[in-house]
Structure 1
């Protein structure tokens, strides 16, 4: 114990850091200062952190955190509220929560804006709840709030076996829409079918434009949720139904592509592109509130469930990133401190 008048000892917490960009081995377990609950924030003792493609890009040096965000990766967590900052209402110490983050989730503790905190839905375990915030907020904000998917329409999801894809299938089916997916293996397509996808395209062997057209009598997809970007840009326009909407949320296939505006115009189509992480706090809070209102009841009712591929120790974050880059997983990868 320090003597009278001595400065208190600063507690440190374990976290995964990226001292310099590189491969999975660039992730290093280190000690960082304990986060503090400032006004408008809460500190969460992390039970699990979700691993996302954006974390891989950040590790590689391609996706820096927004100003003011923690430098270490991690965009979603579940856990128990450890401390509540001034001005925060409706959240109590000891409450089990999950949260959408600006960064810093690969740690034992993390500070979160109160507006980005969600209760753990009924029927979901504390660890598996970490698989929900990023995927639910991404799919709900893009497919429903932005693209306005309607009952009876067809949603084409590229990367159907991903965390985003497995959530999109379930939410679209709950909304009364049909779902087509692309994935790179029979096992992933089988899991997509179990979740409710009707049109299954192995992109290594089949042309998704032809397959979706055949399945829809030539009409095409009403909404395309695309994580690929430039590589699929023109074919996404080709597969689009009249009045269809393409939402680009990832750039795994590059950032620059050629677009036939005449073709898009003829279909009265819309090309939309969004990023969740860099949005202002008030926009994220609005998305989180909408997810709590519309998605969480579906999760509590068992109609939408987190799909977890594997749970790994925080110290094995490098292995989780290697699996992510191999795309050998279906659903989410989680890290537990």
Structure 2
């Protein structure tokens, strides 16, 4: 009998448990995907703990917005896919009902893309959320160009690592911002052209120094909170700040400073747009083929160990790399 991870109450990792359920036939226009692996994301933790801004119906809620597998069945009238095609989930619109923490899930056929050739199953499970977020924020929103100096906050995280790789692929200059100088070697290896550590230098002064006094062309802020005020001072007049995260729960003051463009970005803004998803998939395929884009994997767990995988995430043991669960 196929397995599904569910939770009946909000709380810590222990509220999750594996149950068996009959497989569901895909509806018209849908595909059923036999999941081979999924990644554990901060959004999963928020849903499980009850801190997600979206309403999560209990009991028997599911988890999982990211994963990879093969097309197992086609719903009536579904075209464009064949049984056995390897795919990546680009969006699970109702993850609490049919999330990827399972042996099987059904999604609209438009919510999967072909798995990039050259990626292993674990990498394919972990590539879409971080890379589509970074791509959408930097390329679609900020129109990043070759030569742009791009400050990336929380650079050790999944989105930060993806953003550095994407900047390098385009020919921009990724400037990694981190809280701790001890992360410098790892960030340089991950693709940073420059590492600025908040515990050893003034962030604004350092950005100005590395941009010949001009300031950054783009800042990708996945942290928010009061610290954004310093980032605004590090952007050149006419530059762009993209607010694409919420790691700091404190209020973010209203932006004030030199004239610049400010965007607020959420990944579902583009992952539900078929035209943009097509561009994202083409960009990822090219980057994987060239060896420029690769998700950093921390550990791989088995489905029966999904509780331990969430503990690993909550304890911060992943150091910003992706946690993957194989099915």
Q: Flag whether TM exceeds 0.5 (same fold).
A: yes
Residue number among 168, 172, 176 corresponding to 1:181 in the alignment: 176
* Residues 1-337 of structure 1 mapped to structure 2, 5 A cutoff: 13-63=2-52, 71-102=61-92, 103=95, 104-185=99-180, 188-254=183-249, 256-261=251-256, 263=257, 267-277=258-268, 279=269, 282-283=272-273, 285-328=274-317, 329-337=319-327
Q: 1:317 to 1:207 in 2, by over 3 A?
A: farther
1:336 and 1:101 map into 2 onto residues whose CA distance is: 19
Contact 1:115–1:288 (Cα < 8 Å) also in 2: no
Contact 2:181–2:200 (Cα < 8 Å) also in 1: no
Q: 1:224 to 1:260 in 2, by over 3 A?
A: closer
C-alpha displacement of 1:106: 1.1
* Secondary structure of residue in 2 paired with 1:37: coil
Contact 1:199–1:212 (Cα < 8 Å) also in 2: no
C-alpha displacement of 1:32: 4.0
CA RMSD of aligned residues (A): 2.3
1:319 and 1:186 map into 2 onto residues whose CA distance is: 29
C-alpha displacement of 1:196: 2.1
Contact 1:27–1:318 (Cα < 8 Å) also in 2: yes
Contact 1:188–1:330 (Cα < 8 Å) also in 2: no
2:206 and 2:224 map into 1 onto residues whose CA distance is: 20
C-alpha displacement of 1:282: 4.6
Task: Return structure 1 stretches of 4+ with deviation > 6 angstroms.
Answer: none
* Secondary structure of residue in 2 paired with 1:87: coil
1:318 and 1:111 map into 2 onto residues whose CA distance is: 23
1:281 and 1:303 map into 2 onto residues whose CA distance is: 22
Contact 1:223–1:246 (Cα < 8 Å) also in 2: yes
TM superposition score normalised by structure 2: 0.89
Q: 1:149 to 1:60 in 2, by over 3 A?
A: same
* Secondary structure of residue in 2 paired with 1:132: helix
Q: 1:128 to 1:281 in 2, by over 3 A?
A: closer
